[in-house]
Amino acid sequence: MKVRKAVITAAGWGTRFLPITKAHPKEMLPLVTKPLIQYSVEEAINSGIEQIVVITAQGKRAIEDYFDRSFELEHFLEQKGETNLLKEMRELSSLADICYIRQKEQLGLGHAILTAKGIVGKEPFAVLLPDDIIDSKVPVLKQMIEVYEQYKTSVVAVERIASQDTVKYGIIEPKKVSGHIYQVLSLIEKPKPAQAPSNLGVVGKYILTPQIFDALEVTPPGKNQEIQLTDALQLLLKQQTIYAYEFEGVRYDTGTPLGWLKATLAFALRHPDIGQELKEYLHQLI
């Protein structure tokens, strides 16, 4: 069955960006000229996804407003003769078929995904975390869908990480299959370096079969008393083979202030309107 739907999780507190995230969704922080979440939406669209489910929470209304039409703004731009901006605003509101579900309690990534069960139904689906922005020639999700179409089972994106960073990731025990593809023998959530089975950490892109919902429903709270997707995937391994894909591209963790700044600089330096001037300014600072 084709992967037609994607779940984008945007319900977290964004505590690492406090105090701004007290009143402003982290997913709406700008990465040059677009909010972080738009990169995930565009990646899904460019990978062939037909419907997007965004998991939000209280205080995240700005996300819905952003992707909605604003007739007053369009009228204002039309009156001013701002035809290019008007075209951009209309294209933004018609990017994709997007629906929204509120996660009423922040009980972890696994719980957030479980809230989408009724809309996803009994078909494979993608999951994207807006924190992980990956700069690549081919969208990483599209790369992963090609792996899914080959094996017809769940696929997780992985990246080689420093040993001291295993406490920040779900870590896989891998068995190499071919090229960038591994069979996942086991997973463990945020292990200490000595307990980590490899240096391949799971990052925020997944292709999941609908059986993950059954696993999530019986997954007990794990780290931080949250329902961890990593723990549910470990349960799912009892029913099906899971593969890991070591993607091609450069990942930026925009879920941290430093990671967000690095991504902003990298993307801004390539921007046709401001890149050269920014480069000259940075030389002055150095």
CA–CA separation, 54 vs 70, rounded Å? 20
How confident is the model over 59-107, as pLDDT tens digits? 899 999 999 888 888 888 888 888 888 888 888 878 888 999 999 888 8
The predicted-structure confidence for 237-252, as pLDDT tens digits, reads as follows 999 999 999 998 999 9
**Which CATH number belongs to the domain containing residue 64 in this structure?**
3.90.550.10
Q: Which amino acid is at 76?
A: F
Q: Is the pLDDT of residue 124 over 90?
A: yes
Per the domain annotation, does 275 fall within a domain?
no
Domain count, the chain: 1
Round to whole Å and give the CA distance between 28 and 256: 14
Residue 160 lies in a domain: yes
- Give me the pLDDT at residue 75, please: 86
- For the chain, what is the mean pLDDT? 93
- pLDDT of 224 strictly over 80: no
* Within-domain flag for 111: yes
Whether residue 246 lies inside any domain: the answer is yes
CA 76 from centroid of its chain's CA atoms: 34
Domain that holds residue 20: 5-255
The verdict on residue 239 lying in a domain is yes
Q: Could you tell me if residue 282 is inside a domain? A: no
Model pLDDT, residue 87: 87
Rounded distance, CA 258 to CA 57, Å? 25
Q: Which residues of 51-66 are buried (b: 16+ CB within 10 A; e: fewer)?
A: bbbbbbbeebeebeeb
260 belongs to a structural domain:
no
For 190, left (φ over 0), alpha (ψ -120 to 50), or beta?
left
Whose tokens are 């995930």? That residue is 40
In a domain, 73, yes or no: yes
